[in-house]
Amino acid sequence: MTSFRTLSDLTDLSGQTALVRVDFNVPMEGGKVSDDTRLRAALPTINALRDRGAKVVLMAHFGRPRGQPNPEMSLRPVVEPLELLLSAPVWFAEDCIGDAPRAVIADDLAPGGVALLENVRFHGGEEANDPAFAAELAKLGDIYVNDAFSAAHRAHASTEGLARLLPAYPGESMRRELDALDKALGTPVKPVLGIVGGAKVSSKLDLLKNLVAQLDHLAIGGGMANTFLHAQGVDVGGSLCEKDMADTAREIIEEARRQGCELLLPVDVVVAKTVKPGVESGVRALDRIAADDLILDAGPETVARLKRAMDLSKTLIWNGPLGVFEVPPFDKATVEAARHAADLARAGKITAVAGGGDTVSALNHAEVVDDMTFVSTAGGAFLEWMEGKPLPGVEALKA
Ligand code: AMP
């Protein structure tokens, strides 16, 4: 993490307007914000800029209005909860470009004041990354701050184009996220262990290929492990298994061997006849899986090996559950492994970084989100970063 400007270099921003891209794509119910986590995440950046005397102008998208104004996807409902969190008024501009935001910034905002602009995706130029639209946004401010890591995998006007037009800085949340990701895959302390679980090999191919090239150990769990077992001649019965991916799985196994990445595949599994809470289940060795068995979780010996691998590692990066964690008892391997990782992280023995939609729910279910070193809630951006792809919104911030 060398090449970014930092907000702390700016001491006095009085008389300046900071355009801040935030992630306010919050859950709403009945026109009201039902979870303010994302609003809270933006507070450190907003307050840092206010403290330096800047006019703070927030830009965000909400939903998928596809380039048309749509009252159901207005950001207006965000104003009130944001005012409560900031203990300060938040001005709202009915549009994100043109006279409406210009008037709010010039007439209403004092230094340290905060405004929120209407949904940037009400204009087609946002997702098209249209230079003319980005230039209209740029006219509103003096500096650009991007605090929306979760939108950084998209090259849109407010995430990428604008960063090319104004002096650009990562916000505090963005910085925390980039620091954590750098510790996990950029310049990690070795040995590094990866855990990749979830349903399908086909949706995580790029991820697996990138990880076997980078990691010392890679544990594969969840439904995708069935495909690897099948590729090695194990009869996985009626389990979720992508038989047409067997060649690909064998290629990944071979690539791991070539790159010196130790693959940890299940050595025992938990099976049942249906996926229902509390259904009768049993532990099976790999040669004892019946034709009507469904593999729904990793077995105890597999979890014990995974814990030993964690004990020997200094860095852990995790995406995807080890079993059908939504349906107990098939949450057991995921919960046990997550708690072990959390214990090691809390004791300072490992840097444990996890992310991706289902992974966050699984770690929440295991009640360890706060104990991991870092948990990213950015689904797509986190995955693309784990896949080794450059994120346009991050690249554009590099000074
Ligand atoms: P993903 O979105 O690819 O991370 O996949 C997460 C989903 O994989 C979760 O909903 C899990 O229930 C599911 N999953 C994990 N293990 C299995 C399994 N052995 N069989 C079927 N689905 C699984």
Q: Flag the least confident range among 91-105, 143-157, 348-362.
A: 348-362
Domain boundaries, the chain: 7-174, 188-386
Confidence category of residue 338, pLDDT binned at 50, 70, 90 = very high
Q: State the pLDDT at residue 288.
A: 97
> Measured from the CA of 321, which atom of ligand 1 is nearest?
15
User: How many other β-carbons are positioned within 10 Å of the β-carbon of residue 132?
Assistant: 11
> What are the pLDDT digits (tens) for 55-66?
999 999 999 999
Distance in angstroms (rounded) separating the CA atoms of residues 271 and 386? 30
The reply to whether ligand 1 has any atom less than 6 angstroms from the CB of 215 is no
Q: d(Cα 377, Cα 394) in Å, to the nearest integer?
A: 16
Q: What is the pLDDT of residues 340-385, one digit of tens each?
A: 999 999 999 999 999 987 899 999 999 999 999 999 989 899 999 9
Per-residue pLDDT tens for 196-240? 999 999 999 999 999 999 999 999 999 999 999 999 999 999 999
Q: Give distance in angstroms: CA of 173 to centre of ligand 1.
A: 29
Atom of ligand 1 nearest to the CA of 226: 19
**pTM (predicted TM-score):** 0.92
Tokens linked to 63: 């939903």
170-199: average pLDDT: 94
Backbone φ, ψ for residue 143 (5° rounding): -130, 160
Residue 2 has pLDDT above 70, yes or no: no
**CATH architecture type of domain 188-386:** 3-Layer(aba) Sandwich (3.40)
Q: Is 139 helix (H, G, I), strand (E, B) or coil?
A: coil
User: What's the rounded mean pLDDT across residues 83-107?
Assistant: 98
Q: Give the C-alpha separation, 145 to 162, whole Å.
A: 10
Question: And the tokens for 308?
Answer: 């030993």
The mean pLDDT of the chain is: 96
Q: Which of 294, 274, 270, 293 is nearest to 282 (CA)?
A: 270
Q: What is the pLDDT of residue 136?
A: 98
Q: Residue 37 pLDDT > 70, yes or no?
A: yes
**Which of 226, 240, 271 best tests ligand 1's pocket when mutated (most atoms within 8 Å of CB)?**
240
User: What pLDDT is attached to residue 356?
Assistant: 86
Crossing angle of helices 37-51 and 172-181, in 10° steps, is: 110
Burial class (CB in 10 A: 0-12, 13-18, 19+), 198: buried
Ligand 1 atom nearest to CA at 197 = 4
Radius of gyration of the chain (CA): 23
Q: Which CATH number fits domain 7-174: 3.30.479.30, 3.20.20.140, 3.40.50.1260, 3.30.450.20?
A: 3.40.50.1260
- Share of residues in the chain with pLDDT > 70 (%): 99
Catalytic (active site) residue 38: yes
Active site annotation includes 52: no
Whether 276 is a known active-site residue: answer: no
**7-174 and 188-386: identical CATH topology:** yes
